[in-house]
Every structure is written in C-alpha cells, then in structure tokens.
Chain A
Amino acid sequence: MGLGRVYKTRSETVTALDSVDLKIREGELFGVLGPNGAGKTTLIKILVTLLLPTSGTARVDGFDVVTEYRRLRPRISIVSGGENAGYGILKVREQLWMFSQFYGMPSGPARARIDELLERLGLADVANRQISGLSSGMRQKMNLVRGLMTDPRVLFLDEPTVALDVGAARDLRQEVGRWMEEDPTRTVILTTHYMQEADDLCDRIAIVNKGRIVIEGTPHSLKAEVQRDVVVDLQLEPGTPLLDRLREVEGVGAASVREEDGIDRFSLLLVDDGVLTNVISTVERSGRRVAGLAKRQPTLEDAFVKLVGRSMSEEEAN
C-alpha cells in the first residue's frame, strides 16, 4: 500500500515507484506490464526483499517484506530474464541440486524434482553439461527449474522471456501455466513489456508507467477500454513525420507508429468511422502515399496507447 521508491544520486532524484497500491489474489497469474524503466523490476525487487521501499508497506503471502523477510523468503522464488546467470563451471543438475540444499530440501526428493522439471523443460539431455556450454535459452530454462523446484507459494518472474527465441519463450510460458495448474493456490507475478505475453498468460494485469499504476484489470477489461473506439491500422510509405499531426485530428483518441520493412505502420484509435475521412485528408495534405488501411480488433497495445498517450516504444525512447 502506498509503495514508493526513490533513488537519490548526487545529481538527481529519480522516482521509480510512486505510491503503488496493488492487491494480488492467491492463485492468480498477475502481470505487471510496462515499458523499460517503468518501475516493474523495482516493484519486484521490493516484493522479493532485495530492495527496501522508501515509503509505504507491502505484504507477500501475509508477511511484511521489510520486517518479516526471513519468514517470507522460504515461501517465494524469483527468476529474472536476460542476465545469463549461473556458475559456468558447474553442471546443470549440480547447480540446481546445490540450490535445493540452500532451500533445505531433502536431497533425494530434490534430485527427483530436478530431474522431473528438467525433463519437462526439455533439458534432460544437458543435465550433465557444464552451464558455460548452454545457450541463453537453455540457461533461462534452467533458471526457471531453480525457481520452480522449491515449490514456492509465490513465484516472481521478472521479464523471463526477454532475449529468448520464440520456441524457448513458448516453452517457458507453457511450463509456468502447467506449474500453476498443478496447484490452484500457487501465485505468479510476472513483469513483462511484451503485450502478447501478458495477454496470453495473465489473469489480471496492471499497466505501469513512470512508477505509477495506470490501470488494473483483466486483459479483457483493459481491451474493453478501447472497445468502443474504432481501431485502424494505417500503412504509409516513407515521408514527412506525421504522428503529431494525426494526433491533433479531431476524433483521434490515440495514435502510435512503428516502422517495419520501410513502411510506417500507424495504429489509430478513432471515436467513430467518420473520423477516418479527416485522417485521410491529413495524410493527403502531407503528400504521403497510403500503402494499406484496415480495421481490426483492439489489443492491449491499443489500450496502453490510449491510457498513456504514447506507445510503449515511445515511452522507452523517452
């Protein structure tokens, strides 16, 4: 409640979290979605007791993260993405077993659990391989095994699929889903900046931007925020910048753009179909040529753009 975190350096003060209020239910797969630098990892670090908040309080599984961290730690686990973690000299099974011992697991059941998870994640063949010889995808799967093997009450996944290829990311997501199905009281808190990942996996999502919760709800309810809008994909051949002018067109609720294969792909949220005429006029006046135009169903990305005013990539660049 009212969770805040401020980083102070000699030259500046940065507010990473600003009075965050959040309630996550048992058995939920809760997503924290936002651009890089939004405060997602700071939130996770506080919840797993790696970082102290500068204001507010937080409880995980009933325990205060500041005063009861010793009792909380055996009940949680964290898996972070994109960090290439591991003692390279150790073998996969060896490192996992060592961490099971740091968690006080009986050796025999720990080995059985490790082998089971390695099998499920397709790592059985590399169980006796040195960690230094693993690909980043394999390393991340191994880290997921470490996170799951202790059967935590709450599992924190901090950008777990960042920098992974499509197949490895899919395997990870599948395993997380299966792990939750095994016990409906297990809770997962996932941070991601992949809209599709949040949409596919999460029961509920909080969109975070600049340290604040912008909105919270199910993926369906968030998309419903833009359900009444007309969502249009407008493709333009290269030319003069047009994003700000399109945003100024009356009836355009939000606009974002990304460049792909030399084409600028605009996503526009319009209050109704009639606005499209004004949009096309604006494009024609700019001298740019239309390469494609299509209406589509709203996505979480559209909801983000509408709520924040800019796309996630624009926020990251900013």
Chain B
Amino acid sequence: MVVAPAARTWTGFTTAVRLGWAVSSNWTRPALFVIYAVLRPISTALILVVMYNVITGGRGNARTYLSFLIIGTAFWAFVNEGVSEFAVGILEDRGRFKMLKYAYLAPLRFPIFLVGRASSKLTSAAASVLIVLVVATVGLRLPISPLEVNYGLLAIACLLAFIAVMAFSIALSMILLAGRDAYGYGEIMAQVLYLFSGAIFPIAVLPGPLAFLASLSPLAYWLELTRRAILHGRVYEMFPNLSDGEVLLRLALATAGTVALGYLTYLWADRRARRKGYIDMDANF
C-alpha cells in the first residue's frame, strides 16, 4: 500500500506531536501536571502585576499599562515555551534518549519532526494564555469583553507570529545542535527575547540601537496587534502612529525576514553539525 507524500508528512507530524506530549508531560502524575501548567503562568503574571502595582502605586494611566503588561506576559508563554521546548527537545533526544540520529535520518523532514516534538508545549502555552486572561479579567478586572475582541486580527497576528517563532526556534535548535554543550541556552534565549519584544515594557524605552533591533523583530508587532485586538483603545500602544494595517504589514515583513534568515541559519547549522559530527555526539544533558 502506497501512502501519498502529504499524508505521510501529516502522519509523521502528528506522531511527533504524540511523542512530544508523551515525553514532556510524563515527568509527573497528570493531576500534578495540570496544576503545574495552570499555576505557573498565573504566578508569573501575578508577580509582575504585584511588582507593577508596588512601583506605580496605582497612579496615572496605571490601568492601561497593567493591561499592556498582562496581555504581553500571557501571550509571551507561546514564545517562551516554543523556544525553550525546541531547544530542550533536540538536546534531550541527543544527550538523554540517544534517539536524535534516528529521527534525523528518517525520511520525515527534520524541521517537521522538531515542530511536532515541541507542539505539546505550545498547546499547553495556549491553555496558559486563556487561563491568565480569564484570571486577569475576573480577578484584576481587566476590561476584556469576548464580544469586542477583533478575532480576525488576533488570528492573523498569532498565525504570523507562530510562523516566526517556529522559524526562529528551529534555527536556534540547530545552532545549539551544532555546538557542544548547549543545554540551557534555549531558555536564556527566550529570556533575551523577553526583554526585546515589548512583552513587559514598550521597546521605545530601550537604548537607541537596541530599540532599533527590537523594531526588526516580529514579536513586538505581534504583541501590539494582540493588545489592540483584545483591548483596542483601552491599552497602552507601542506604535500609536501606526494603524492596525501598518502594524500588520510590519509584522508580515518581519516574519518573512525571520523565516528567510531562519532557513539560511538552519541550512548552515545543519551542515556544520554534520561536518563536526555533532548529530549523534555524546553530550552532557
């Protein structure tokens, strides 16, 4: 029986999703995992909220900044989980399970395997976004109304950001694979991006060159559109002079740039890993 290439790719992808879920969610009992998945994003958001309230004392336009902070933090889970899970997955498969070379040599395209392998964490990240937004709406009286959300804009922005994060994460994973002892760098990279993408403060407050670099990243435009789609007019805007369409155009261009750069980086890192013999290297994990 012959299976069509597209069907084979889809089956391979869904199997990688299943593998990722089995490996990343099985470190504890299911009940504990759910508690962890719920409590972690809420606690992260609440810590920032408390810090913010203490520092501002509720003065001035504190509510619009609070909304800015919460939405940025909530959606950041996608980037954090995506970037770090890609990196952990690839290094774990190589160093701990010793299975990376077998997955790498399989006919399924390796980036598709990587995306599938990390998808379980992206799913739990999606859940954590919802949880944080619900808690913020109910507990912190964030003015979110499900009927007023611009779902079309939100979906397009999230799709483009998802593509950009995938491209970035795949490239980063391969860079880590092409290095020797790379464990932990995925999380570090996620934290660096955290500071340069407008998740917790506007990129305009960064020093000039850093603000320019941040303006090239699709993440700042994605978070801006996300905030506008959910709380248009009731949230601090990073790009008040740009319309939604203009921000979307910048997001699309930055995403295209990230995908192109990510692809070139992937090719370079893949070749370097094969040249150095790092794909099946005995590495510390």
Residues in chain A within 8 A of chain B (CB atoms): 7, 42, 45, 48-52, 73-74, 76-78, 80, 83-90, 94, 98-99, 101-107, 109, 146
- Once the chains bind, are B113 and A85 in contact (CB under 8 Å)? no
Please name the residue on chain B nearest to A5 by beta carbon.
B277
A51–B274 contact, CB under 8 A? yes
10 A-B pairs closest in CB distance: A104-B8, A85-B98, A102-B106, A101-B15, A74-B107, A102-B108, A89-B26, A51-B277, A106-B1, A52-B275
Pair B274/A104 contact, Cβ less than 8 Å: no
Query: Smallest CB–CB gap between A299 and chain B, Å?
Result: 33
Further contacts, 7 of them, CB under 8 A, given A49-B274, A98-B19:
A48-B105, A77-B105, A87-B23, A89-B23, A94-B22, A102-B15, A102-B108
B40 within 8 A of A: no
Is B11 on the interface with A (CB-CB < 8 A)? yes
B187 within 8 A of A: no
Q: With a CB–CB cut-off of 8 A, which chain A residues contact B11?
A: 101, 104, 107
B105 & A49 in contact (Cβ 8 Å cutoff): yes
Considering the complex, give the chain B residue whose CB is closest to the CB of A45: B277
Contact between B106 and A73, CB atoms less than 8 A apart: yes
A6 → chain B, closest Cβ, in Å? 11
Q: List 16 A-B contacts (CB under 8 A).
A: A7-B277, A45-B277, A48-B105, A49-B105, A51-B274, A52-B274, A73-B106, A77-B105, A78-B102, A78-B105, A87-B97, A89-B22, A89-B23, A89-B26, A90-B22, A106-B3
Q: Please, what's the 1-or-0 string for B95-121, where 1 marks a CB less than 8 Å from any CB in chain A?
A: 001110111111110000100000000
Q: What's the nearest-Cβ distance from chain A to residue B217, in Å?
A: 32
Indicate if B12 sits at the interface (CB-CB under 8 A): yes
Number of A-B contacts (CB under 8 A): 88
Does A50 contact B104, Cβ atoms closer than 8 Å?
yes
Most buried by A among B101, B275, B277, B279: B277
Give the docked Cα–Cα distance between A80 and B3 (Å): 29
Which chain A residues lie closer than 8 Å to B274 at the CB level? 49-52
A104-B3, A104-B11, A107-B11 known; A87 vs B107 contact (CB < 8 Å): no
Structural contact, A98 and B15, CB atoms closer than 8 A? yes
For residue B141, CB closer than 8 A to chain A, the reply is no
Query: CB within 8 Å of A: which of B1-24?
Result: 1, 3, 5, 8, 11-12, 15-16, 18-19, 22-23
User: Chain A contacts of B108 at CB under 8 A?
Assistant: 101-104
B116 nearest in chain A by CB position:
A102
Residue of A nearest to B107 (CB): A74
A98 cross-chain contacts in B, Cβ below 8 A? 15, 18-19
- Residues of the B chain whose Cβ atoms lie less than 8 Å from the Cβ of A77: 105
Given the complex of chains A and B, what is the CA–CA distance between A99 and B101 in angstroms? 12
**A74 to chain B: which residues have CB within 8 Å?**
107
Chain B residues with CB under 8 Å of A102's CB are 12, 15-16, 103, 106-108, 113
User: Which residue on chain A has the smallest CB distance to residue B105?
Assistant: A73
Range of interface residues on chain B?
20 to 34
Rounded to whole angstroms, the CA-CA distance of A77 and B105 in the bound complex is 8
| Chain B residues with CB under 8 A of A49 | 105, 274
Give chain B residues whose Cβ lies under 8 Å from the Cβ of A52.
Answer: 271, 274-275
Residue of A42, A50, A87, A90 near B105 (CB, 8 A) is: A50
User: Is the CB of B237 closer than 8 A to any CB of chain A?
Assistant: no
Question: Are B106's CB and A99's CB within 8 A?
Answer: yes
Interchain CA distance A103-B15 in the complex, whole Å: 11
- In this complex, the member of A45, A88, A90, A101 whose beta carbon has the largest number of chain B beta carbons within 10 angstroms is A101
Q: Which residue of B lies closest to A49 (CB)?
A: B105
Find B22's partner among A86, A87, A101 (CB 8 Å cutoff): A87
Question: B244: CB under 8 A from chain A?
Answer: no
List B contacts of A104 (CB < 8 A): 3, 5, 8, 11-12, 107-108
Q: Shortest CB–CB separation between residue A212 and chain B, in angstroms? A: 19
Give bound CA distance, A80 to B102, whole Å.
10
Contact B1 A109 (CB under 8 A): yes
**A87 CA / B15 CA spacing, docked (Å):** 14
Please report the C-alpha to C-alpha distance between residue A237 and residue B1 in the assembled complex, in whole angstroms.
66
Would you call A50 and B279 a contact (CB within 8 A)?
yes
Interface mask (B16-42 → A, CB under 8 Å = 1, otherwise 0): 101100110010000000000000000
Least CB distance, A193 to chain B, in whole angstroms:
18
CB distance from B32 to the nearest CB of A (A): 15
* With A86-B99, A88-B97: A103-B277 Cβ-Cβ less than 8 Å: no
CB-contact partner of B107 in A73, A78, A83, under 8 A: A73
Q: Identify the closest chain A residue to B14 (Cβ).
A: A101
- Distance between Cα atoms of A166 and B97 in the complex (Å): 25
**Of all chain A residues, which has the CB nearest B109?**
A70
CA distance A76 to B23 in the complex (A): 27
B99 partner residues in chain A, CB cutoff 8 A: 85-87
Give the shortest distance, in Å, between B236 (CB) and chain A (any CB).
44
B27 — nearest CB in chain A belongs to which residue? A89
CB closest residue in chain A, given B108: A102
